[in-house]
Amino acid sequence: MPARERKVLERIAKRLAISRNVNREFEKQLTVGDHLADRVAEIGGSWGFIIAFGVFIAIWMLINTALLAGGFDPYPYVFLNLILSLLAAIQAPVIMMSQNRQSDKDRLAAAHDYEVNLKAEIEIAALHEKLDRIRAYELTEILQRIEGVLPPR
């Protein structure tokens, strides 16, 4: 029997709860780098970042084209291109790390859901068994009353 199912059965036998806060459990495992990657992914994947970066690029182009007449990064904006490439080279792996961690969290939550569902299924089966025994006892009792009222054959 798999360890997860054995754990569920042990907790049922001890009358202990299966449910727990998976988010808190997962948060305890995170390092400072994990929190930083999540924060970068949260900011980098927001409309605020996209709009702010679009405004930054527009200002950069305006300064280097119109205001400085040739500026420090004239058209075709080689330095801006370098900055964008560096940002993408750093931001993409950080976002992927955050996504991988999220999939790990989802797997942990799915395993927890399985345990809770398994316990619920076992408890429901036990309740059905108890109900069947109660019904059988009631039927036996009714039959005994009937047999006491009717004369034997």
Cα gap 82→72, rounded to integer Å: 14
| pLDDT reported for residue 71 | 77
| pLDDT reported for residue 70 | 67
Quick one: CA dihedral 84, 86, 89, 93, positive or negative? negative
Cα 127 to Cα 43, 52, 122, 134, distances in angstroms: 50, 59, 9, 10
| pLDDT reported for residue 68 | 72
Q: What is the CA radius of gyration of the chain?
A: 33
Mean pLDDT over all residues of the chain?
88
pTM exceeds 0.75 for this model: no
pLDDT tens, residue by residue, 36-66: 999 988 998 899 999 999 999 999 998 888 8
| pLDDT reported for residue 152 | 62
The total number of residues written for the chain in this structure: 153
Average confidence (pLDDT) per 10 residues, the chain, 153 residues: 83 83 89 91 91 94 81 88 94 92 93 90 92 90 80 61
Cα gap 127→109, rounded to integer Å: 27
What is the residue range of 137's domain? 3-149
Q: How many domains does the chain have?
A: 1
